[in-house]
Amino acid sequence: MKIIGYLRVSTDQQVESGLGLDAQRAACENHAKKMGLEVAQFFSDEGLSGALSHEDRPGLTSAINILKKTDILVIAKRDRLGRDPDDIGDITRTIKRKGARIISAAGEGTEQDDSASKFMRRVLDGAAEYERNIISDRIKDALKVKKDRGERVGHIPFGYKLAENNVNLEQNEVECNIINNMKELRAKGLSIRDIAVVLNKKGLLNREGAKWKHASLFRIMKNQNVLNK
């Protein structure tokens, strides 16, 4: 039996500071020590939202693939697995079929598999999704007011450029073409990672003229409501 650790932070600020990852790593290592074991290997997804499918998170995919019978996937908190109850259910079933299990350093009903523990896990998964949706709604409402006025909101969204008056935004034809390519590829069933590969091969690069990485591509596709298409 070995313990594999999984870490996830969803914002660039957490990635750059390392605080989110460091805290999670310490929690996982401390929990493993309480079990008289050590974490054999860590996998992480940096700058990736929990709303993203586990299939589009290479760190989690690698962690799951390496698990063998009796192994344990340890996480700092259950919401590090994601914030979609259905996706978390898929992750749990996949790991269970391998004869492995998931343990949260925070407890959260992962130590046992009795009825009370199962109920606790479902409640926490639902709460994580609810929190994600509430935050998303608040941000959308606030930004919509400014967008309706045609005002610039924070950074210039991909697909737009600053108009000559330096206040309003107008469409950026080059970037809009790239977005249309994203939509077409997603409609064909390609994953975020595969879409990044295709765009890079076509020379449809990001705003900085660099190759796409799935983390930044995910953020843009999420803003364009492309992910579920």
Specify the pLDDT at position 36: 93
Specify the pLDDT at position 16: 46
- Provide the whole-model pTM: 0.55
Specify the pLDDT at position 181: 94
**CB half-sphere exposure, 153, CA atoms < 13 A:** 14
> Which domains does the chain possess?
3-128 (3.40.50.1390), 148-223 (no CATH)
Q: Give me 193's structure tokens.
A: 């990672």
The answer to whether residues 227 and 214 touch, using CB atoms and an 8 Å cutoff, is: no
Nearest to 82 by CA among 91, 73, 74: 91
How many other CB atoms are there within 10 angstroms of residue 3's CB atom?
A: 20
Specify the pLDDT at position 3: 96
pLDDT tens per residue, the chain (229 residues)?
A: 899 999 998 865 455 444 588 899 999 999 999 999 999 999 999 888 777 888 888 999 999 999 999 999 999 998 898 888 888 889 999 999 999 999 999 888 677 677 776 777 677 766 666 676 676 667 666 667 666 666 656 678 888 888 887 777 788 999 999 999 999 999 999 999 999 999 999 999 998 889 998 888 888 888 877 766 5
Handedness of CA 91, 92, 95, 96 (dihedral sign): negative
